[in-house]
Structure 1
């Protein structure tokens, strides 16, 4: 009886893991889309479309994280994104910016940090059944960007000082 319960728990955790990856894929796809009117759209669209595809593939086939192609693409993206995150963090710190989401560099920093954290969470998730800690973390991270986006969408005064290309966000 205990073995059946453990198997059911593992299968539910796997389903939740896949749903989280599909949800993050949708979020990253939205993030890619809203870059259309950004002055450096191409760069940011690539930055978000890579995790979009990587997460979609995990949602479809969770063991893909153990393939060499998936790992190399994810690792390259994490490496490049981490370098950009470090440069943005340096800039934000140097300018003593505290309201990060009120500055374009802060939003870029936050978005790229999210992609790095998510891809690191996904790394090697296909080796064995995903555990409760990974899935709980995934659920918390998955909910955060959607709730944040909704909060900023509802509270228009928070976006009043944003540049015009940022105000057309969905």
Structure 2
């Protein structure tokens, strides 16, 4: 990292050409993976129309889809106060929803410990966890704000893995059965 002295005598950091190159690539990856996640959340909202309570789950997944799409459009939108308020509100509602879903799942575990994905509440809980994790990542991981190229590389690797994990889970559940989640790998 190079430094230069400004007219006022203050030392400033100047990013070398490789750091600028890394930031540009990281921003492209960041936008692409948010595009993937926006598509994922949009698909999640579409499949909720066959759910008994689509009025809850369609907006629940549309909000993260729109938040991710806004990052694709303009990556710096995460600094916008309206984006931050909407994401904070969604995270708060999601945390409350996860508590409610956990309490509903406890009912099934009174007799024996079984796979929670066999129940609608367990699958809903997984969706809530994915939404919470991704919105938190979007709020606090901005490739333009990171200092070192190793930090950018590690962050982008984590983002890519976490970004494709929901698709892998969804494909695995579809391979098990073609009707509405079947028994989700019965245990």
- Report the TM-score when normalising by structure 1: 0.86
Is residue 2:117 matched to residue 1:101? yes
Deviation at 1:5, TM superposition (A): 1.8
- For 1:1-170, list aligned pairs within 5 A: 3-96=16-109, 98-126=114-142, 128-129=144-145, 131-156=152-177, 159-161=181-183
8 Å Cα contact 1:88/1:106 also seen in 2 = yes
CA contact (8 A) 1:10 1:129 kept: no
Range moving further from structure 2, 69-78 or 145-154: 145-154
TM score, norm. by length of structure 2? 0.78
Larger Rg: 2
Cα RMSD for the two superposed structures? 2.3
Relative to total residues, which structure has the larger helix share, 1 or 2? 1
Segments of 5+ residues of structure 1 without an aligned counterpart are: 163-170
Asked which structure has the greater RCO (Cα within 8 Å, sep 6+), the reply is 1
Count of aligned positions: 162
Query: Unmatched 5+ residue regions in structure 2?
Result: 2-14, 147-151
Question: 2: CA distance between counterparts of 1:72 and 1:80?
Answer: 12
